[in-house]
């Protein structure tokens, strides 16, 4: 209510002054001005000039008030914006007589100016984390906020500016632009910046003083005489020591002026709160001290018990740590009675499962296994099986009463061992095949040589047979007429020769297939010949199917190893035969298997297509994975296409597989075109 009354009184005073100014004649107005000084203020910054509870106060105002007393004039305060005050002091008809502004110490303003009132400076301010500003050169290329008309503006006017200047009406506006990222630096006067920084905690002082200045009273040239009187009064205050008293009053604490009444109330409330808190703390301290005394004896006993417990826990922890550090598998710790003390394995229920047995079929008994390990005090390892999974079981005694069991799935390792055994058998079979082929070649050579002799002999005997038949018309050969018998003997000799040559070709193909692979010695290979040899080697399997070929002539040639390519194509032909056997409807097709060679898109292509059962998308995605097979029950190992895929990659080729259930499968092998 008091503030409201003061506001009304102020408005009434302003209105009265305004009406008086309008109604008084010029000489009356001049007479009024001679009795007072209109002091324009704009700042909200302590300790210079600010309004608190409707009252203007501060160092500048109190200093001007004392100067007015010495001059015998009343000081009238008018509060406007900084830009408006600058405009007013340049206007000869303005009612504003004096304002307080900062001027650079090396540059005077183009107005009547008093002696320095108080020293200040301007610094650069940036966001936290930005680099330090060591001088004006560090502002190059940056966006710098400058308060229009302020002493920073006066200082840099007419000087080279390597930065982008952004004019603002207030330093606070510059700080707001800095927060928004629209400027990089604000150059602000010290007292104003100190007031603003608590309101903008992300802003910091980033330089030493860049400009030194001083507060001065400034007036229009029409008031030059008045400014001389202000200077005289100011010097008198300095000589009397009263100026120093004012400086000590407003600046002596080294911080901005605060509202003492408010501070006193806050400090009183804080002191009361601290006193109460101290009293409560003293009571609590006394109570706690008594409790501590009562508990001290009990704590001694408890500490002894804890030491014993910690020793036991430490021993157990070391045991566990030694096991866990050395073994990456599932771990289960048992005592002599078969109780599980600790486990990190989710599969420890297998140890008590009736389906969990040794790989040789013997039943597994956990209690007997623990007892044997503790009695012998030796680690034991066994291969186990449950359903179609294989596991490795390890038992390690770690004391006289405890055994740790390690359980690791070994299904893949088991299958790898089986595959290795199968590979060893195949290698032995290859060596055996090479030996048998060599042994077969000898009688085959004899047959071919002998049948050639018989054929030549039959030609010579044909004329003798005709002559003898004329002499003895009733002569027969093996119950047949001589001419018919001679024809039959000729046909038989030709059949024997063809059969022997076929045996020779098959044996030679088998010998080449059994030769060891030398990957670094690839040679030009006829793709058509690979097809023909593979078909001869699989003739026994494909004889019940209709196999057609569409081979490009002349035959395409690729760089590679013939034996490996035979292995790939034989495997694919065998897979096609198995796929057709799975689908009985395929036997009615006119074309079961087709093999084609061609050249397309700068690639030599070998295409094997069948009309078999086909594959679904899930099977197609895994078809080249090792050990994946759909014929596990019939003896499939799942290694055929995996090996084929490796061989094809070694030949810098790729394999494309397309398949649909009930429609068959097409496999295209694409070799780079090198010839």
Q: Tens digits of per-residue pLDDT, 516-554?
A: 555 567 889 999 999 998 898 888 888 888 889 999 999
Look at the alpha carbons of 599, 605, 611, 615 in this order and tell me if their dihedral is positive or negative: negative
**Cis peptide, bond prior to residue 15, ω within 30 of zero:** no
Please name the residues in contact with 158: beta carbons below 8 A apart, sequence gap of 6 or more. none
Q: For position 675, what pLDDT does the model report?
A: 58
Pair of tokens at residue 25: 């004649």
pLDDT tier for residue 355 given thresholds of 50, 70 and 90? confident
Rg from Cα positions in the chain: 56
- Between 87-101, 198-212, 357-371, the lowest mean confidence (pLDDT) is in 357-371
Q: Give yes or no for residue 633 having a pLDDT over 80.
A: no
- Region 619-624: mean pLDDT is 77
Q: Give yes or no for residue 2 having a pLDDT over 50.
A: no
Look at the alpha carbons of 17, 23, 26, 27 in this order and tell me if their dihedral is positive or negative: negative
Q: Tens digits of per-residue pLDDT, 608-617?
A: 999 888 888 8
The whole-angstrom separation of Cα 578 and Cα 634 is 11
pLDDT tier for residue 329 given thresholds of 50, 70 and 90? low
Please name the residues in contact with 340: beta carbons below 8 A apart, sequence gap of 6 or more. 332, 333, 334, 348
Q: For position 606, what pLDDT does the model report?
A: 94
- Region 1-24: mean pLDDT is 37
Structural contact between residues 26 and 20, judged by C-beta atoms closer than 8 angstroms = no
pLDDT tier for residue 489 given thresholds of 50, 70 and 90? confident
Q: Give yes or no for residue 235 having a pLDDT over 90.
A: yes
pLDDT tier for residue 644 given thresholds of 50, 70 and 90? confident
- Region 209-231: mean pLDDT is 89
Pair of tokens at residue 63: 């200093």
347 φ/ψ angles, rounded to the nearest 5 degrees: -100, 15
Is the model's pTM score more than 0.95? no
pLDDT tier for residue 634 given thresholds of 50, 70 and 90? low
Q: For position 538, what pLDDT does the model report?
A: 86
Q: Give yes or no for residue 635 having a pLDDT over 70.
A: no
Q: Give yes or no for residue 378 having a pLDDT over 80.
A: yes
Pair of tokens at residue 348: 């420890």
- Region 558-567: mean pLDDT is 88
Percentage of the chain modeled with pLDDT above 90: 20
Where do we find the tokens 């009930």?
Answer: 662
Q: Give yes or no for residue 365 having a pLDDT over 90.
A: no
Q: Give yes or no for residue 166 having a pLDDT over 90.
A: yes
Of the two residues 67 and 482, the one the predictor is more confident about is 67
The whole-angstrom separation of Cα 510 and Cα 569 is 14
- Between 124-128, 273-277, 345-349, 663-667, the lowest mean confidence (pLDDT) is in 345-349
Burial call 483-496: b when 16+ CB within 10 Å, e when fewer: eeebeebeeebeeb
Of the two residues 258 and 131, the one the predictor is more confident about is 131
What value does the mean pLDDT of the chain take? 79
The whole-angstrom separation of Cα 10 and Cα 460 is 155
């Amino acid at each position: 209510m008091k503030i409201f009354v003061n506001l009304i009184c102020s408005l009434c005073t302003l209105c009265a002054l305004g009406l008086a100014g309008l109604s008084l004649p010029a000489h009356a107005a001049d007479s009024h001005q001679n009795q007072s000084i209109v002091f324009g203020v704009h700042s909200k910054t302590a300790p210079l000039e600010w309004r608190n509870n409707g009252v203007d106060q501060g160092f500048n105002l109190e200093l001007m008030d004392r100067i007015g007393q010495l001059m015998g004039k009343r000081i009238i305060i008018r509060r406007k914006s900084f830009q408006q005050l600058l405009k007013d002091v340049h206007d000869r008809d303005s009612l504003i007589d004096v304002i307080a502004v900062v001027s650079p110490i090396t540059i005077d303003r183009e107005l009547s100016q008093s002696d320095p009132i108080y020293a200040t400076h301007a610094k650069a301010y940036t966001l936290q984390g930005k680099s330090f500003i060591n001088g004006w050169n560090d502002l190059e290329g940056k966006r710098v906020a400058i308060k229009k008309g302020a002493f920073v503006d006066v200082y840099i006017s007419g000087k080279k500016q390597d930065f982008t200047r952004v004019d603002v009406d207030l330093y606070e506006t510059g700080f707001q632009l800095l927060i928004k990222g629209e400027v990089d630096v604000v150059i602000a006067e010290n007292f104003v910046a100190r007031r603003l920084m608590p309101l903008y905690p992300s802003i910091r002082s980033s330089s030493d003083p860049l400009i030194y200045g001083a507060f001065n009273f400034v007036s229009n040239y029409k008031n030059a005489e008045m400014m001389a009187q202000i200077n005289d009064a100011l010097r008198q205050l300095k000589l009397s020591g009263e100026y120093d008293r004012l400086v000590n009053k407003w600046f002596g604490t080294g911080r901005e002026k605060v509202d003492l009444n408010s501070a006193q109330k806050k400090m009183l409330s804080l002191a009361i709160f601290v006193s109460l808190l101290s009293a409560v703390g003293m009571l609590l301290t006394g109570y706690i001290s008594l409790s501590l005394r009562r508990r001290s004896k009990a704590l001694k006993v408890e500490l002894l018990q804890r030491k014993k417990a910690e020793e036991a826990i430490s021993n157990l922890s070391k045991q566990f740590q030694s096991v866990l550090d050395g073994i990456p598998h599932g771990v289960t710790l048992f005592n002599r009675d078969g109780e599980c003390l600790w486990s990190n394995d989710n599969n420890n229920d297998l140890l008590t499962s009736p389906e969990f047995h040794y790989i040789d079929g013997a039943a597994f008994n956990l209690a007997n296994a623990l007892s044997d390990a503790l009695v012998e005090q030796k680690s034991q390892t066994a291969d186990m099986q449950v359903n179609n999974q294989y596991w490795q079981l390890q038992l390690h005694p770690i004391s006289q009463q405890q055994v740790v069991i390690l359980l690791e799935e070994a299904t893949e390792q088991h299958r790898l061992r089986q595959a290795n055994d199968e590979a060893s058998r195949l290698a032995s079979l290859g060596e055996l095949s090479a030996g048998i082929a060599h042994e077969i070649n000898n009688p085959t050579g004899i047959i071919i040589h002998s049948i050639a002799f018989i054929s030549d002999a039959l030609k010579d005997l044909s004329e003798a047979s005709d002559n003898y038949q004329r002499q003895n018309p009733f002569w027969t050969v093996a119950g047949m007429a001589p001419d018919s018998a001679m024809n039959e003997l000729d046909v038989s000799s030709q059949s024997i020769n063809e059969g022997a040559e076929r045996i020779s070709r098959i044996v030679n193909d088998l010998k080449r297939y059994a030769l060891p692979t030398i990957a670094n010695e690839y040679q030009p290979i006829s793709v058509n010949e690979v097809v023909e040899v593979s078909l001869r080697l699989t003739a026994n399997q494909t004889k019940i199917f209709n196999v057609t070929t569409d081979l490009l002539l002349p035959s395409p040639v690729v760089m590679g190893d013939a034996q490996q390519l035979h292995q790939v194509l034989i495997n694919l032909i065998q897979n096609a035969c198995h796929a057709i056997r799975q689908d009985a409807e395929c036997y009615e097709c006119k074309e079961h298997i087709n093999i084609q060679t061609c050249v397309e898109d700068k690639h030599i292509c070998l295409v094997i297509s069948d009309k078999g059962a086909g594959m679904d998308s899930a099977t197609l995605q895994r078809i080249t994975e090792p050990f994946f097979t759909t014929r596990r029950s019939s003896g499939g190992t799942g290694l055929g296409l995996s090996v084929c895929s490796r061989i094809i990659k070694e030949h810098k080729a790729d394999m494309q597989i397309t398949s649909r259930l009930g429609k068959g499968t097409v496999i295209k092998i694409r070799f780079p075109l090198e010839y």
